[in-house]
Each structure stands twice: as structure tokens, then as C-alpha cells.
Structure 1
């Protein structure tokens, strides 16, 4: 039993020395800086629809040429964080894309995402119906170009071209 008493005494002595040595005190020269969120909240499905509707209205009010020039700008009024407008004709040719400008003039109708989805063809079908949604996987420029699930929403501008945008749902 003397061994147990010695162990308990030793633990008590260490605890007293730790407390009296200041190890549990708050440091005096510490500045606490509040952390603010660095990223804006992700857009909702409703935000997505409103954004595309705004772009379609802009295109109808300002004409195709001016609208496409605005949609191509990475710092333009239709590039807002995760949301940006892309434009295609009904043949599947890219006519505006601020994230992938090298795709302008390229027919992507039979292009697939990483899971084999014909995403442009699916989006075009929704546009034929006036508007609609389609899910696919695409690069996320805000996450180091990681491939992530995306919900696309498109609307017909007229019988020659359509607009779309999308929100990411993560990997």
C-alpha cells in the first residue's frame, strides 16, 4: 500500500507544480482575431434559375453579339463566383464560355463527362423544351479544377441559341 500512496503523492506533487508554474494560465500577449468566412455561400437552385433568366433577358434586350461578348468576360457581369453563363447553338457548338474560351467554336454535342454522360446533348434537349435541368460532372474552377457533380440549368434564347449555368454539388 505504500507504493500506491507514493504514486498518488507523486501525481499530486506534479499537479501542484504544474498549476503553480503557470502552465494552465492564459498567455498575456495573445491577440485573438475573429475569423470571418472566406467564401460566400454556395448559390441555390433558385439562384441558378434567376441568374440564367437574367442572362436571357440581357441577351434579348441587348442582342446576340453584345450578350456573347459580355458572357465571355471572366470579370463581366455574368461571372459571379461559382456562377457563370455559357452559350451554345443548337448544333452543340460553344459560342461563349468564360471558363473554357478555347472551346469557343468547338462542337461539343457528343462530348462526354467522366461518367460518359453526353452533357451538352442533355442540356440542349432541355433548352429545346424552353428550359430545364441536367446533372453532369465538370471542372470546378474554384476548387483547383477538380471534377465535381454539377446541376446545369438552361434556357432557350431563340431558335438558334441557348444559355446555361450550373451549381456544383461536390465530388
Structure 2
């Protein structure tokens, strides 16, 4: 059995990068984003391990989301769009395949960024972080059925704009 300290250190190792990537889409300032993630881990140190162990990832993402939104509200800003993520590395050895993959990725990310903020966030949590509907609901403070509606609307909009990829 690991100690609470070991558990927190393991959580930092596992979730720090995904949390930083997530917060970077919510806050334009990288320094503030790092502060948000650090605050989440400080809060984790004060929480009972038994209560969070089974739902650690959604709890951390929810803490970061709430803190980022608080910062945006204080700055009187609204979340308009989420920045596209860096392109994944090309897998094909051919330069033409790499160019096509990069072009397709840019197009998909452009359409994803054009979705309403809540749909964009739900899609990213689902497909980038592999969260379940329940975990997304916990992070975003919504019901599971509302998450399902958001994902359905987003996928429908993406299929309409990208029929050749459907």
C-alpha cells in the first residue's frame, strides 16, 4: 500500500501534462494555467484519499476548470473558443501522406474550434482524455444526459462539415 504522499506524487506524474493541456485551452496565459494546475494538486493534498481515489481524474479536471473559469470571470472575459491542440505526429513515412494528414488535422481542428464552447470541451474531454460521460458530467458540472446531447450535437455538426471523413 502506498502512502498518501506517494499517491499525490503519482497523480502529479500521471495528470500534470494532460491538465496543463486542458487548462491551456481555457486560459490564454500559460503562467496562470500552471498556477491553476498547481492549485489543483495543492487541493488534492488536503483531500481524503479514500474519497477521491476512484474518481481522481475527473475531480482534478473539474477543480482546474472551476479555477480557470473563476480567473476568466475576474478578468471579465468570456470563453469564446478553445485553441486547437498541437498536431499529432504523422505516422506515414511518405511526405505526401504526412502533408495530407496535417491538412486533414488542421481542417478537423478548425471545425472543432468553431463549435460552441461547451460542445468543443465535451468532445475534447471524450476523445483526447478518454473520459466517460459520467466523468465529463462531473468535470463540466452537467448531467450525463446533457453531456450526451452536447456530444451528439457536436458530432452531427462535424459530420455535416466533414462528410468525406464520416
Q: Same fold (TM over 0.5)?
A: no
TM-score calculated relative to the size of structure 1: 0.23
In terms of fraction of residues, the more helix-rich structure is 2
TM-score, scaled relative to structure 2: 0.24
